[in-house]
């Protein structure tokens, strides 16, 4: 092997092996006590979780923090609290599942408050309208998630409604791992997809009907936007309103329980 070829091989091996060694080192380190304090403060239900799930969550948080880049926007001061809170909520979606840590995600952009995103809408007549929309979170297909910190931390209004912007946007990340954000994340088998489709379609139709008749719903009406938003909204309800969702929508709850491999009712306050 020539010198140049050997150098290329060494560079390739270094590119592959060194990050894995660094990750192995990071995962072997003790979880900082200040991080645990942040989880107890900002992750409702964490203190009631079984020890094995807490340990899983901590390991996934360490990997998330190692692999993802956090970017402070609009004068936000990036801190351990910001990063650990976001990572903790996101990694709730990965417990008990053999999966990578959001493999398509590279950056988490955090604003101090809801941010403005440009929107373009084309009418049936071909007229293009440009508007600006205020958002508390958004998941992009280019490897970015954008969040407003004041909507992530303890937010009484969101808590009362059973909403969580991190769970919502990272559910979109899971959904997009199949290559299409359509409300059907990666499942284990054709039979699982069939059962998922039947239940989700029926529940989505029921939500549309409830909204049409102005009926109160356990599921956030925003879920009626499209199947992708329905999955994200029901993911929020699964973790934040588990008792109510299981009572009023048992088939839906069971599909989400099978997918997420946890039952949040066991640690709900």
Specify the fold of 18-155: Cyclin A; domain 1 (1.10.472)
Residues of 147-158 as b/e, b for ≥16 C-beta within 10 angstroms?
A: bbbebbeebeeb
CATH 3.40.390.10-classified regions of the chain? 178-269
- Stretch among 6-15, 125-134, 205-214 having the lowest mean pLDDT: 6-15
| pLDDT for 7 | 44
Pick the CATH number of 178-269 from 3.20.190.10, 3.40.390.10, 1.10.10.60, 3.30.9.10: 3.40.390.10
Question: Which single residue is written with the structure tokens 């950056």?
Answer: 107
CATH 1.10.472.150-classified regions of the chain? 18-155
Q: State the average pLDDT over residues 203-210.
A: 96
Share of the chain above pLDDT 90, in %: 71
Q: What is the pTM of this model?
A: 0.87
- Cβ 164 vs Cβ 236: under 8 Å: yes
């Amino acid at each position: 092997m020539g010198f140049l070829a050997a150098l290329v091989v060494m560079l390739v091996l270094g590119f592959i092996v060194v990050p894995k060694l660094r990750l192995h080192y990071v995962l072997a380190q003790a979880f900082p006590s200040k991080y645990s304090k942040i989880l107890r403060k900002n992750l409702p239900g964490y203190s009631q979780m079984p020890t094995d799930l807490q340990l899983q969550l901590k390991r996934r948080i360490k990997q998330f923090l190692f692999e993802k880049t956090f970017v402070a926007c609009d004068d936000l001061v990036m801190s351990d609290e910001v990063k650990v809170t976001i990572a903790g909520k996101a990694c709730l979606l990965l417990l008990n599942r053999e999966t990578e840590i959001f493999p398509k995600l590279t950056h988490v952009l955090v604003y101090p408050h809801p941010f403005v995103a440009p929107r373009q809408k084309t009418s049936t007549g071909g007229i293009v309208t440009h508007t600006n929309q205020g958002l508390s979170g958004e998941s992009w297909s280019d490897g970015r998630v954008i969040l407003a910190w004041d909507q992530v931390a303890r937010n009484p209004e969101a808590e009362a409604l059973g909403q969580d912007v991190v769970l919502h946007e990272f559910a979109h990340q899971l959904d997009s791992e199949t290559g299409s954000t359509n409300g059907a994340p990666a499942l284990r088998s054709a039979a699982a997809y069939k059962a998922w489709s039947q239940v989700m379609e029926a529940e989505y139709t029921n939500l549309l009907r409830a909204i049409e008749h102005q009926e109160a719903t356990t599921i956030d009406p925003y879920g009626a936007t499209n199947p992708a938003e329905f999955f994200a909204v029901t993911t929020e309800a699964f973790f934040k309103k588990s008792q109510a969702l299981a009572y009023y929508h048992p088939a839906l709850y069971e599909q989400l329980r099978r997918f997420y491999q946890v039952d949040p009712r066991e640690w709900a306050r």
